[in-house]
């Protein structure tokens, strides 16, 4: 897939591009089949929900230990648009899977930008990073969809309150007055679409989500591609937070994931 000039201009203005059903149904099934093994994994890279230790909040680094998720970020449909948007070769700074289990097992995410902890902890100099959000499940109005503030990336690095858990995962929460002003100016959009949809999102776009109180899981994999020229200098955090392999990613055959079906 190659982005046209209008799509690139829209990304620069809004901070994201959404493509429903970018992955085919049989590719989605391959990813869904791999989920139980990932969610049953034990290790520091798997973080449970605070109020439910039996539910996974985040599973980092699935592209390292799961074959389907290793192929996914190398598909030309994902990799080539990111390289266009960043005008550079890229590596995978981080991947994280947020399964958002149903019946309240998937807790909320406060409003935040992704770039601040990467900049302040990992030594990522510039926000030359794109988050490809891959819908593993259908994301509907009732399953706590990802919410974004269009154009919020143009405000740069916003003031935020740092929060860091015991396992080193960091967020910088946007305060209420700032969020209210941004929302009043630009609104809030819900990213809704079938499993296999993909959103390419600038790392400074303000986003968040509510508790998933529906009966259904709403899993999204976040692939955070960083420009090779913007490689991180920090070494404080572990591999699953801050990948130290800066070799440019090379695309696989676009049918590679489908071959596992």
| Structural domain contains residue 249 | no
User: Among 41, 200, 81, which residue's Cα sits nearest to residue 130?
Assistant: 200
How many structural domains does the chain have?
A: 1
In contact, 108 and 212? CB cutoff 8 Å: no
**How does the average pLDDT of the chain come out, rounded?**
94
Percentage of the chain modeled with pLDDT above 70: 95
Encoded tokens for 4: 């046209």
Parallel, antiparallel or unpaired: strands 220-227 and 90-98 = antiparallel
Which residues, in sequence order, are bridge partners of residue 171? 163
Say what the pLDDT of residue 170 is.
62
Say what the pLDDT of residue 52 is.
83
- Give kind and range of the element (H or E) at residue 66: none
pTM of the prediction? 0.94
| CA 7 to centroid of chain Cα atoms | 20
Which residues, in sequence order, are bridge partners of residue 198? 19, 134
| Structural domain contains residue 69 | yes
| Structural domain contains residue 29 | yes
Task: Show the domain range for 180.
Answer: 25-226
* pLDDT tens track for 182-212: 999 999 999 999 999 999 999 999 999 999 9
**Residue 147 belongs to a domain with what CATH number?**
2.60.120.620
| Structural domain contains residue 20 | no
Q: How far is CA 189 from CA 146, 194, 207, 246, in A?
A: 8, 16, 9, 33
**What average pLDDT does the segment 224-239 reach?**
97
Say what the pLDDT of residue 166 is.
46
In contact, 149 and 205? CB cutoff 8 Å: yes
**What average pLDDT does the segment 135-159 reach?**
94
| Structural domain contains residue 250 | no
| Structural domain contains residue 2 | no
| CA 106 to centroid of chain Cα atoms | 16
DSSP 139: B
> Is 70 exceeded by the pLDDT of residue 165?
no
* pLDDT tens track for 105-123: 889 999 999 999 999 999 9
| Structural domain contains residue 127 | yes
| Structural domain contains residue 19 | no
């Amino acid at each position: 897939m190659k982005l046209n000039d209008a799509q690139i201009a829209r990304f620069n203005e809004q901070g994201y591009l959404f493509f429903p059903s970018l992955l085919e149904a049989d590719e989605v099934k391959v990813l869904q089949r791999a989920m139980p093994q990932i969610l049953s994994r034990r290790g520091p890279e798997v973080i449970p929900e605070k109020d439910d230790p039996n539910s996974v909040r985040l599973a980092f680094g699935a592209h390292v230990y799961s074959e389907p998720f290793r192929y996914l970020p190398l598909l030309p449909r994902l990799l080539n648009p990111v390289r266009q948007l960043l005008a550079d070769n890229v590596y995978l700074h981080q991947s994280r899977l947020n399964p958002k289990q149903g019946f309240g097992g998937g807790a909320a995410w406060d409003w935040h930008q992704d770039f601040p902890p990467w900049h302040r902890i990992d030594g990522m100099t510039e926000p030359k990073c794109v988050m490809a959000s891959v819908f593993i499940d259908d994301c509907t109005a009732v399953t706590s969809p990802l919410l974004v503030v269009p154009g919020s990336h143009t405000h740069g690095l916003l003031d935020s309150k740092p929060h860091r858990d015991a396992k080193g995962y960091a967020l910088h929460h946007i305060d209420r007055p700032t969020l209210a002003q941004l929302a009043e100016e630009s609104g809030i959009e819900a990213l809704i679409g079938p499993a296999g949809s993909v959103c390419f999102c600038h790392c400074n776009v303000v986003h968040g989500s509510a508790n998933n109180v529906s009966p259904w899981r709403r899993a999204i994999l976040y692939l955070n591609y960083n420009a090779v020229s913007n490689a991180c200098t920090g070494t404080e955090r572990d591999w699953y937070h801050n990948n130290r392999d800066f070799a440019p990613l090379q695309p696989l055959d676009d049918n590679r994931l489908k071959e596992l079906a």
